[in-house]
Amino acid sequence: MNRIVQPELLDWLPPDDPRAIHSRRDLRCVNSWMRNHELMAAALLGNFQGHSLHRITELGAGDGKFFLRVVKKISARWPDGEATLIDLKKNVADETLAAFASLGWRAKAVVADVFDWPQIDSDIVITNLFLHHFEDTKLAELLGLISRRTKLFIALEPRRAAWPLFCSRLLWAIGCNDVTRHDAAVSVRAGFFGDEISRLWPDRKNWELTEKRAGVFSHLFIARKIS
């Protein structure tokens, strides 16, 4: 199955559009089915360096609730962290930022294009279901930018395969709306397989790269800078 990148409906809907609100709620449900918050938490803990503070930036953070679920799983090990949630649209509610604070984390939402990334120090950069939005040329540009701004990068993406594509067509069964059903199939066809992200990473000499299937539906990429 060749990789095909197509527009997703949610990217074009205003944040307060009822279909967009419903779809963002759907995505939280889909993430639970994919177990991406658990997979991300495990990847972060597996690369934990023992420091008391980590500054973590999420690109394409959406409403921030994905990373909030991750922090709920890692806060016992990282009781004092700092999260920067970057997205092109203003989607993060004050209640979500307050929920980070209740876990001992400082969180802030930044509205910005990832290609005009604010100069924010970050030990770790993460993304969830984000890289597949970009054609290879643009994705290589983004990966180059990330490699210059962090020491550890972790991405979870759709796994491009027949079974995830088949399951994407059954989302009506868990109440997902037309936006989510459309975007899910588009996401799988734009997803990744094998070492496709690694081949676009700009510096394979000074980085340790891991790329593999994760769970049933996901594709995991980790880039760790070699000290």
Q: Domain of 163: which CATH number? A: 3.40.50.150
Find, among 65, 52, 193, the residue nearest to 132 by Cα: 193
Residue 208 belongs to some domain of the structure: yes
What domain range includes position 136? 9-225
Residues 6 or more apart whose Cβ sits within 8 Å of residue 161? 1, 188, 193
Instruction: Indicate the pairing of strand 207-214 with strand 218-225.
Output: antiparallel
Residue 4 belongs to some domain of the structure: no
Amino acid at 70: V
Residue 189 belongs to some domain of the structure: yes
Residue 2 belongs to some domain of the structure: no
Residue 3 belongs to some domain of the structure: no
Distance CA 202, CA 200 (A): 6
User: Structurally, how many domains does the chain consist of?
Assistant: 1
**Local structure of residue 195 (DSSP, 8 states):** T
Give bridge partners of residue 157 from the DSSP assignment: 219
Taking only the tens of pLDDT, the chain with its 227 residues reads 889 999 899 888 888 899 988 998 888 888 788 899 999 999 999 887 655 557 899 999 988 999 999 999 999 888 888 999 999 888 899 999 999 999 999 999 999 999 988 777 678 999 999 999 999 999 999 999 999 989 899 999 999 999 888 888 888 888 899 999 999 999 999 999 999 999 999 988 999 999 999 988 999 999 999 87
Helix (H, G, I), strand (E, B) or coil at 193: coil
Q: How many residues does the chain have?
A: 227
Amino acid at 87: D
Residue 123 belongs to some domain of the structure: yes
Q: What is the pTM of this model?
A: 0.92
Residue 36 belongs to some domain of the structure: yes
Q: What is the pLDDT of residue 91?
A: 85
Q: What is the pLDDT of residue 215?
A: 87
Residue the block writes with tokens 């990330």 = 146
Residue the block writes with tokens 């920067």 = 84
Dihedral over Cα of 208, 44, 211, 185: its sign:
negative
Residue 144 belongs to some domain of the structure: yes
Strand order in 82-87's β-sheet?
A: 106-111, 82-87, 55-59, 124-128, 152-158, 218-225, 207-214
Instruction: Indicate the pairing of strand 55-59 with strand 124-128.
Output: parallel
